[in-house]
Homo-oligomer: A and B are copies of this chain.
């Protein structure tokens, strides 16, 4: 089923400035996974940060109903966000905060919206990678890019049919015994690792193989981010 080699990622297209209104924006395509990322700068901080002279980064994630093969009920109709949605929103915000110096931001909040318009696996990692581009553009527009300490990007890996492979699409994700997401900085530091066994446990060695693939993938994503941002 997989035509790429085990360590190859799907084609990546970053379209910065996709949205006319947002202070920063980026459409990211990782194969058939398409996510619109926008960054909004607000001149205020959450209540618990007021007067501390520092800023905040937060994120919200969503999916259009037909982003998926079967239609997913609209969360606004259901009346709340699912656990999965909230979990991904928290992950994206945490990942982006890891590369920004909150003190250098001053008292502003940057809100990253990641809306999946088509989903084929890896929507959370694409949201982090594209969200960074949108955030950087918004901070540059606000002349705050000095607060950004490094780039950050994310990629998935998994054990499929006993072999470690990089950047799973939906079919591979469904078939994987173990599925892991890695968030890493351009400088190679690790920000977040989430590895989960499905119907099976995994071993140290399998984990090490996934980690090795992820490092290579994250390095390529960092290069692409730097190129479109000209940094």
User: Quick one: which of B75, B78, B90 contacts A87, CB cutoff 8 A?
Assistant: B90
Complex Cα–Cα for A187 and B202 (A): 11
Question: What residues of B have a CB within 8 angstroms of the CB of A25 in the complex?
Answer: 66
Work out how many copies of this chain go into the complex. Answer: 6
CB-CB contacts below 8 Å: A173-206 with B: 180, 185, 187, 189-197, 199-204
Asked if residues B185 and A192 are in contact (CB atoms below 8 Å), the reply is: no
Q: Please tell me if the beta carbons of B79 and A80 are within 8 angstroms of each other in the complex.
A: yes
Q: Which residues of B contact A211 (CB under 8 A)?
A: 204
Residues of B within 8 A of A180 (CB): 193
Nearest-neighbour CB distance to chain B for A107, whole angstroms, equals 18
B69, B83, B197: the one contacting A89 at CB < 8 Å is: B83
Binding site for B on A (CB under 8 A): 19-22, 25, 32, 36, 38, 40, 42, 60, 62, 64-69, 71, 74-87, 89-90, 94, 98, 111, 113, 115, 117-118, 120, 180, 185, 187, 189-197, 199-204, 207, 211
A113 pairs with B201, CB closer than 8 A: no
- Assembled-state Cα–Cα distance A180/B192 (Å): 9
Which residues on the B side are within 8 Å of A64 (C-beta)? Answer: 36, 38, 62, 113, 115
Kindly list chain B residues whose C-beta atoms are within 8 Å of the C-beta of A62: 64, 74, 76
